[in-house]
Structure 1
Amino acid sequence: MEEDVKRLIRLASWAFGRLKNTIWSNHDITRTLKVRIYQALILPIATYSSESWALREKDRHRLDVFEMRCLRAILGVSILDKVRNDTIRQRLNVTTTIKTAICKRRLKWAGHVFRMPAHRLPYQAFKNDFSKPRPPGRPPSRWKDLIQKDLGMTTQAAESCAADRPDWRRITRQRAK
């Protein structure tokens, strides 16, 4: 997982850098348009297949650092200017963080998995207990654990909620943080 996140951040950084002279440093393009370009072109590269990720804190931090580096470049401030992240988000009118976007995508995919027929592979992988005992100490987070944490309910309760699509959309909008 860690290597996937590093690779995607590297690819997104490359794409962001390729647009430096044409978009980010162009003063004729508004900040609003720059943010929309960032959200349409760069974020999808960085979050590709994120609906199936079980991120560690280290990977979440890497994604946060990447996001703020991009937003600082769009705004034209340096890390040395000591402008707070909240201030940068306010100035650019960016309301959702990359972590929130990943959480929304994960919950959306969970709804699809919960509604799948039992013969589908993603549903079987979700339901399988893998009967192998988990290692001692703090076990690594699983996708199933993150869904429970995001929703604040058991997976059985989430499955019954996912059957009703409008209810599922309402719950996921409220819970995605």
Structure 2
Amino acid sequence: MKECSRSLFLPSNATSVEEDRFLARSRIYSDMDLEERWLRISGRGSKDDPSSPMNEPVSLGESTIEAVDSFTYLGSVIHRDGQSSQDVQSCLAKASRVFGSLRVPAFENRSLSLCCRHRAYIALVLTTLLYGTETWMPKAPDLRSLNAFHHQCVHIIVGISRRDQWDNRVTSITMARTLGIDCDVADIIREYRLRWLGHVGRMNDDRMPKRVLFGELPATRPHHGPRKRWCDVIMDDLRSISPPVPSDCWFDAAQDRSAWRQVAHRRPPARAPPDPDSGFHCACGKVCRRPGDLKRHAPYCKANS
């Protein structure tokens, strides 16, 4: 295995001292050749080509393991293309079944306090929905699906209908804060990823997750818009939080577990409030940001009734 590329975790304007310290840490993994041990990864060939190394069966003693497109391991769906979309859909289906089984006896039961319903939702539904998110690389459609399911559950638990939401101008963020949730699904996934990054950074040097994190495959990556890797996503997470964490300082900061937990809990900077003079105005006084919002608001507008 090659030494870790300095472009993954080290900025281009880093000093020579920072580069020497980074390369000295990555040399620990240079003599651990994964191809000569039990892990073999090939970047050549196509999954549609029967002669590709990716489709060759693996012999393990007297048994033969066939090549498949995806399989389930420890509750997570592992796909051959490395994407998380199938795992996201699997977690959505599981969380939907859990919420549906508890909807009438728990979440729509007004005899239970809102705090009790909130704790049940966090412990049973949200943990099922976000199982294994530390290794996810979700795309924008995946995040929209997760947020849509989360907001729908919050609607049912709080007991506010769509009509009441439009009439009282209650946003989904306000309802989530009423339930005691002050962040969306993307923020929770980012926090889980950063906590896992710190955990891997504190591992011993001979542990496989740490070797894979600082390792590099010998095959070159394509130049025409390659897919984001987990290390690319985690670097975006470090830059998006406020205040951001420099890419060459996270390893030293992660050695302190309590301090790194506070770093993982950081959120991106808040968006500026919309300008009341801009947007699309309704006769009732509501200001919409987009024409589609104004069109959806029209059937529920009191001025049109």
> Where is the strand percentage greater, Structure 1 or Structure 2?
2
Separation in structure 2 between the aligned mates of residue 49 and residue 101 of structure 1, nearest angstrom = 12
Query: CA 1:175–1:92 in structure 2 vs 1: closer, same or farther (change >3 Å)?
Result: closer
1:97 aligns with 2:188: no
1:139 matched residue in structure 2: 226
Query: How far 1:155 moved relative to its partner?
Result: 4.3
The within-5 A match list for 1:88-127 is 88-127=175-214
1:44 matched residue in structure 2: 127
2:144 matched residue in structure 1: 61
Higher relative contact order (Cα pairs below 8 Å, separated by 6+ residues): 1
8 Å contact kept, 2:95–2:129: yes
Query: CA 1:142–1:121 in structure 2 vs 1: closer, same or farther (change >3 Å)?
Result: same
| Residues 36-75 of structure 1, C-alpha deviations (whole Å, 9 max, x = no match) | 1101110110011111111111111111111001101112
Separation in structure 2 between the aligned mates of residue 19 and residue 172 of structure 1, nearest angstrom = 31
8 Å contact kept, 2:173–2:182: no
Separation in structure 2 between the aligned mates of residue 160 and residue 7 of structure 1, nearest angstrom = 36
TM-score after normalising by structure 1: 0.88
Query: CA 1:175–1:76 in structure 2 vs 1: closer, same or farther (change >3 Å)?
Result: closer
2:266 to 162, 174, 177: 174
Query: CA 1:119–1:39 in structure 2 vs 1: closer, same or farther (change >3 Å)?
Result: same
| Residues 60-101 of structure 1, C-alpha deviations (whole Å, 9 max, x = no match) | 111111100110111223445544212322332321322222
2:154 to 68, 71, 82: 71
AA at the equivalent of 1:51: E
1:34 to 117, 133, 138: 117
Query: How far 1:166 moved relative to its partner?
Result: 3.5
TM-score after normalising by structure 2: 0.53
Separation in structure 1 between the aligned mates of residue 195 and residue 147 of structure 2, nearest angstrom = 21
8 Å contact kept, 2:187–2:267: no
1:162 matched residue in structure 2: 254
1:87 aligns with 2:179: no
Find the residue that maps to 1:19 and give its secondary structure: helix
Separation in structure 2 between the aligned mates of residue 96 and residue 70 of structure 1, nearest angstrom = 15
Separation in structure 2 between the aligned mates of residue 76 and residue 170 of structure 1, nearest angstrom = 33
Query: How far 1:10 moved relative to its partner?
Result: 0.5
Separation in structure 2 between the aligned mates of residue 154 and residue 128 of structure 1, nearest angstrom = 20
AA at the equivalent of 1:66: F
Which moves more between the two structures, 124-133 or 65-74? 124-133
Alignment RMSD (CA, Å): 2.1
AA at the equivalent of 1:163: Q
1:21 matched residue in structure 2: 104
Matched pairs, number: 177
Query: CA 1:91–1:112 in structure 2 vs 1: closer, same or farther (change >3 Å)?
Result: closer
Separation in structure 1 between the aligned mates of residue 226 and residue 133 of structure 2, nearest angstrom = 21
8 Å contact kept, 1:107–1:147: yes
Query: How far 1:172 moved relative to its partner?
Result: 2.4
8 Å contact kept, 2:107–2:117: yes
AA at the equivalent of 1:131: P
8 Å contact kept, 1:103–1:176: no
Separation in structure 1 between the aligned mates of residue 267 and residue 112 of structure 2, nearest angstrom = 35
1:3 to 80, 86, 89: 86
